[in-house]
């Protein structure tokens, strides 16, 4: 009897330990998931804001979301993702939803139980919101966990197709790459660690070159090719093989 009690206690401790590790590791995602039970208020379906957000900012947010959806539709043809959007007025409050203190725009979380877009006050514009919505759209279409395997340069390159901020423009690309002579090895920009480097100029450069590369690819394959690529990735095909196959197949002319 004593032995059974001892085993039960050990099992309970292991369970509690595993649960604590899970809660600590996924606390940001859990906070996103339970946002409706937080002190953020819901202002539309799947849209939550910090309580002190002014009425006019709330209006701007909803308006920008609608306009951003149009940009996403232009890219994908239609919207299938239903991300939860969490917007706030100060980064301190948004930190628990995973927005880094130094990030002033937005971030997207792709999880098994849905996609979450966290928007900071500086991100209340179509460039940031549409950009984040593309991440959510791609993730929703490819599914989980396959969506986590997409190289970051492709994910960001696609998101920046709807993000018209001047720092990622063709003019900047020409200047920064010496008109295409200085292109990085994209295979080395596949992980978040490789892509999101601390040095701002280099990090921006990664966005600019990825935007150009994906734009060139999309110009070749069209939206049909993008859909074909998504199908391949959803079915677990290798990314680089699919990327080249779709480009070579030139489905725009099929
Ligand atoms: Zn992004």
pLDDT digits (tens, 9 = 90+) for 179-218: 999 999 999 999 999 999 999 999 999 999 999 999 999 9
**What per-residue confidence (pLDDT) applies to 254?**
47
What 3-state DSSP class applies to 42? strand
159 CA distance to ligand 1 centroid (A)?
Answer: 6
Dist. CA 122–CA 64, nearest whole Å: 13
First to last CA, the chain: 73
Residue 177 scores a pLDDT above 70: yes
Question: pLDDT of 57-90, one tens digit each?
Answer: 999 999 999 999 999 999 999 999 999 999 999 8
DSSP state of 160: G
Question: pLDDT of 135-167, one tens digit each?
Answer: 999 999 999 888 888 999 999 999 999 999 999
**What per-residue confidence (pLDDT) applies to 27?**
86
> Which residues, 6+ apart, have CB-to-CB distance to 125 below 8 Å?
64
Find the mean pLDDT for residues 236-240.
95
20 or 42: whose pLDDT is higher? 42
Using an 8 Å Cβ cutoff, are 137 and 72 in contact?
yes
Using an 8 Å Cβ cutoff, are 161 and 215 in contact?
yes
22 CA distance to ligand 1 centroid (A)?
Answer: 26
**What per-residue confidence (pLDDT) applies to 24?**
53
189 CA distance to ligand 1 centroid (A)?
Answer: 13
243 CA distance to ligand 1 centroid (A)?
Answer: 20
> Which residues, 6+ apart, have CB-to-CB distance to 245 below 8 Å?
232
Global pTM reads: 0.88
Using an 8 Å Cβ cutoff, are 17 and 9 in contact?
no
207 CA distance to ligand 1 centroid (A)?
Answer: 8
Find the mean pLDDT for residues 37-57.
96
In degrees and rounded to multiples of 5, residue 248 shows phi and psi of -70, -35
Dist. CA 185–CA 189, nearest whole Å: 7
Dist. CA 27–CA 25, nearest whole Å: 6
107 CA distance to ligand 1 centroid (A)?
Answer: 7
Using an 8 Å Cβ cutoff, are 122 and 88 in contact?
no
Nearest to 194 by CA among 147, 100, 154, 186: 186
Nearest to 239 by CA among 211, 214, 222: 214
């Amino acid at each position: 009897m004593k032995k059974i009690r001892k085993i039960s206690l050990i099992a309970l401790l292991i369970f509690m330990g595993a649960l604590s590790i899970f809660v600590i590791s996924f606390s940001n995602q859990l906070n996103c998931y339970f946002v409706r039970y937080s002190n953020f208020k819901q202002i539309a379906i799947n849209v939550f804001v910090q309580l002190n957000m002014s009425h006019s900012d709330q209006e701007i947010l909803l308006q920008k979301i609608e306009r951003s959806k149009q940009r996403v539709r232009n890219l994908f043809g239609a919207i299938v993702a239903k991300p939860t959007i969490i917007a706030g007025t100060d980064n301190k409050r948004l930190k628990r939803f995973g927005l880094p203190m130094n990030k002033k725009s937005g971030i997207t979380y792709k999880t098994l139980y849905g996609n979450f877009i966290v928007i900071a006050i500086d991100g209340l514009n179509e460039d940031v919101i549409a950009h984040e919505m593309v991440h959510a759209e791609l993730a929703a279409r490819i599914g989980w966990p396959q969506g986590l395997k997409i190289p970051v340069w492709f994910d960001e390159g696609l998101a920046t197709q709807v993000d018209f901020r001047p720092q990622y423009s063709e003019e900047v690309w020409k200047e920064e790459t010496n008109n295409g002579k200085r292109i990085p090895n994209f295979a080395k920009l596949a992980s978040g660690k490789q892509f999101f480097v601390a040095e701002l100029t280099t990090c921006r450069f990664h966005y600019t070159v990825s935007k150009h590369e994906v734009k060139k690819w999309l110009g070749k394959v069209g939206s049909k090719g993008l859909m074909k690529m998504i199908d391949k990735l959803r079915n677990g095909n290798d990314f680089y093989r699919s990327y080249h196959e779709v480009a070579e197949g030139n489905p725009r002319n099929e």
